[in-house]
Amino acid sequence: MKPQDENKEGIGGMINPRRYGIERVAYLLMRLSGLGLLAYFIGHIYETSSILKGQVGWNEFLDLTQTNEGHALLAIVIAMCVFHTVNGIRVMLGHGGVGVGKPSRPDYPYDPASQNMKHKIGIYSAIVLAAIAMMYGLAVMYGE
Amino acid sequence: MVNKMRESTIMKIHYGTALGAVALVAVHILMRLTQSFAESLEYTNVIANYQFLPYAGMLEIILILLSIHGFNGLRVILLELKQGPRYEKAVSYGCVAAMMGLIAYGSRTIIMVNMGML
Amino acid sequence: MTQVPSIAEEKPTTSLSSPKTATLRIARFNPEKDSERKFMEFNIPYQRWTTVLEAILEVKKHFDHSVAVRYSCRQATCGSCGMIINGKPRLACFTKISELESDVVTVEPMNNFPIIRDLAVRFERLFESHHKIKPYLINDDSEISSNEKEFLQTPEEVEQYIQFSNCIKCGLCNSACPTMATDSSFVGPQALAQAYRYVADSRDKGKDSRLKIIDESHGIWRCHFAGSCSQVCPKGVDPAMGIQFLRGYLLGFRS
């Protein structure tokens, strides 16, 4: 018997942040930043191993990374790191039931208590702190 | 080994490694700010960092924590994208192998520089 | 913390007496005959109180009776008429055209549910997941054999689970969930919220067996608190809250 199509939205549904508020945006950014940071981490481990080639090898690596492109990439990594960290702490607290409201008899308009201002503020804070960290990082990198 | 671990145990490790990594990566980044950014990346300064045993130990711990956290996160994303017993086993073992590979490669750098084997 | 109220706001420009016209785009797809989904458009007059379900039934009555749609109570009690309305899972009987703030209303079958035809979808997976978490009180004591006439609960104990018992199995949460979009094995927010409904019930003694069931690689841990399930729930069940509370048991925050 032909297996029926499950009509899953697929990856387009997973990455579409548009319809469900800032929490869904935070979910998507968390995934993207996580993958980005993993990619950076692997690259970082590889590039720092160039120290084993001595001063010449290390300086070659610095020539590659201490460029405008390298600084821009590092700024993005800083933003991803800060967002992933701050939002991750928010999510971990949520996962433990902290700040998700209390059960009560629902009444119209049935607003969900778990989608409350505490978590929204947490998400916006993560975004703002990431932006600030990115600007600070750029200031440090270009400051000399 | 991977399949026998309960998912709640794996996720507790995921959360624990996250919290540990946050603290230690903050120290690692702050070290870059103890001198000017460019100076902190000079060869002799970096070597000095690696040869300071507590710092090298901290780097090793960061390597292990972030490898576990990162590859477990990747495993979760891949498991959600596609299902099936063979695929799931391949993803789980693949991520563990990649994790161990990265830890081994990074540890090699830390140990060799710490012991002056350049 | 008080929520910003989001009472459905009908467009004030929609007059009470003379109807406006909306374009209703209905997704048509018969998996046995068609290779892809098509949309058919109908111009439907509507007033401030006209629901999407009424518009669809108007199409069936006057234009094309073959449109397949599930509905029953017309009052957001039965959970039959769940569908994607202008991109978001909603109950057709509970959604007024005037609150959509658009003269084009697109209705499609719920995502993550196999399609029977047009707007009707299969619910087997939802029922299987629901059944998996043992959606009944587990208690060795019997109300017949014990001296008590019934298992007593204080109002505070009832308050712990009553909102989660409001679930009408409409499936909107499963349709909105980002994990369900790609993971065929995920139990889903509906089942997890119902698992919490029973775990939180003071009459129930089956907490450990339910926690064991959901503690697997496609169980509760594939929920990432995106919250979309709670955003779309028409009955205020707030599955995201229940799931996080349930996770608290596994993490040791609750006992």
Q: Is the pLDDT of residue C14 over 80?
A: no
Nearest to A112 among C122, C182, C238 (CB): C238
Residues C57 and C172 in one domain: no
Tens-digit pLDDT profile for residues A77-135: 999 999 999 999 999 999 988 899 999 998 888 899 999 999 999 999 999 999 999 99
How sure is the predictor about C121, in pLDDT bands with cuts at 50, 70 and 90?
A: very high
Chain B from 14 to 73: CB within 8 A of any A CB? 15, 18-19, 22, 25, 33, 36-38, 41, 43, 46-47, 50, 63, 66-67, 70-71, 73
Q: Please tell me the total count of domains within chain C.
A: 2
Q: Please tell me the total count of domains within chain B.
A: 1
Q: Note the pLDDT of residue B34.
A: 79
**Which of A30, A33, A38 should we substitute to test contact with B (largest number of B Cβ atoms within 10 Å)?**
A38
Q: Note the pLDDT of residue C241.
A: 96
* Mean pLDDT, all residues of chain B: 90
Residue C7 resides in a domain: no
Angle between helices C189-199 and C124-132 (to 10 degrees): 30
Q: Note the pLDDT of residue C142.
A: 65
Residues C110 and C33 in one domain: yes
Residues C133 and C39 in one domain: no
CATH code, domain with C34: 3.10.20.30
What is the DSSP pairing of strand C104-108 with strand C20-28? parallel
The fraction of chain C above a pLDDT of 90, given in percent, is 80
- Closest alpha carbon to B14 in B59, B87, B90, B67: B67
CATH code, domain with B13: 1.20.1300
Chain A residue with CA closest to C8: the answer is A109
CA distance B92 to chain C (A): 11
C22: Cβ–Cβ under 8 A, 6 or more apart, which residues?
C43, C44, C46, C55, C97, C102, C103, C104, C105
Instruction: Record the tokens describing residue C128, joined without a space.
Output: 């299987």
Instruction: Record the tokens describing residue A19, joined without a space.
Output: 């319809």
Place of tokens 């563990």: B96
Tens-digit pLDDT profile for residues C123-161: 999 999 999 999 999 987 766 666 666 788 999 999 999
CATH code, domain with C244: 1.10.1060.10
Chain C residue with CA closest to B13: the answer is C251
Residue B86 resides in a domain: yes
Residue C5 resides in a domain: no
How sure is the predictor about B33, in pLDDT bands with cuts at 50, 70 and 90?
A: confident
Put simply, the answer to whether C232 touches A20 (Cβ < 8 Å) is yes
Distance between CA atoms of B105 and A45, rounded to whole angstroms?
8
Tens-digit pLDDT profile for residues C41-90: 999 999 999 999 999 999 999 999 999 999 999 999 999 999 999 999 99
List CB contacts (< 8 A) between B88 and chain C: 217
Residues C135 and C227 in one domain: yes
CB contact at 8 A, A140 and B38: no
Q: Which residue has the higher pLDDT, B72 or B3?
A: B72
List CB contacts (< 8 A) between A112 and chain C: 3, 227, 230-231, 233, 236, 238, 240-241
Boundary of a domain, candidates C72, C100, C121: C121
CA distance C254 to chain A (A): 8
Instruction: Flag whether residue C47 sits within 8 Å of chain A, measured between CB atoms.
Output: no
List CB contacts (< 8 A) between C179 and chain B: 80
* pTM score: 0.89
Rounded (10°) CA dihedral C8, C109, A115, C193? 120
Q: Which residue has the higher pLDDT, B22 or C13?
A: B22
Mean pLDDT calculated for residue range C226-237: 95
List CB contacts (< 8 A) between A88 and chain B: 18
Boundary of a domain, candidates C91, C121, C151: C121
Chain C from 219 to 238: CB within 8 A of any B CB? 219, 221-222
Mean pLDDT calculated for residue range C18-35: 90
Q: Note the pLDDT of residue A19.
A: 85
Mean pLDDT calculated for residue range A60-79: 90
Residue C195 resides in a domain: yes
The fraction of chain C above a pLDDT of 70, given in percent, is 90
Q: Note the pLDDT of residue B11.
A: 94
**Which of C3, C37, C223, C233 should we substitute to test contact with A (largest number of A Cβ atoms within 10 Å)?**
C3
Q: Note the pLDDT of residue C2.
A: 40
CA distance A52 to chain B (A): 5
List CB contacts (< 8 A) between B76 and chain C: 221-222
Residues C166 and C106 in one domain: no
CB contact at 8 A, C109 and C177: no
Residue B1 resides in a domain: no
Q: Is the pLDDT of residue C116 over 80?
A: yes
Tens-digit pLDDT profile for residues A73-92: 999 999 999 999 999 999 99
Tens-digit pLDDT profile for residues B47-92: 988 889 999 999 999 999 999 999 999 999 999 999 999 999 999 9
**b/e per residue C183-204 (b: at least 16 CB within 10 A):** bebbbbbbbbbbbbbbbbbebb
Q: Note the pLDDT of residue A18.
A: 77
Residue B66 resides in a domain: yes
Instruction: Record the tokens describing residue C182, joined without a space.
Output: 């790609």
Alpha carbon distance, N-terminus to C-terminus of chain C: 25
Range of the domain at C53: 20-121
Q: Note the pLDDT of residue B1.
A: 47
Q: Note the pLDDT of residue B5.
A: 81
Range of the domain at B59: 7-114
Chain C residue with CA closest to A13: the answer is C181
Boundary of a domain, candidates C121, C140, C162: C121
Q: Is the pLDDT of residue A1 over 50?
A: no
**Which of A6, A16, A102, A119 should we substitute to test contact with C (largest number of C Cβ atoms within 10 Å)?**
A6
E strands in chain C: 20-28, 38-46, 82-85, 88-91, 104-108, 115-117, 120-121
Nearest to A140 among B33, B46, B50 (CB): B33
Q: Which residue has the higher pLDDT, A16 or C125?
A: C125
Residue C200 resides in a domain: yes
Q: How far is CA C228 from the centre of its chain?
A: 11
Chain B residue with CA closest to A53: the answer is B118
Q: Note the pLDDT of residue C4.
A: 45
Residues C116 and C195 in one domain: no
Place of tokens 């800032």: A22
Delimit the domains of chain A by residue range: 21-33+67-98+113-142
Residue B63 resides in a domain: yes
- Tell me the CB-side half-sphere exposure of residue C226, using CA atoms within 13 A: 32
Place of tokens 């006209």: C50
CA distance A133 to chain B (A): 12
In degrees and rounded to multiples of 5, residue A51 shows phi and psi of -65, -20
Put simply, the answer to whether B80 touches C222 (Cβ < 8 Å) is yes
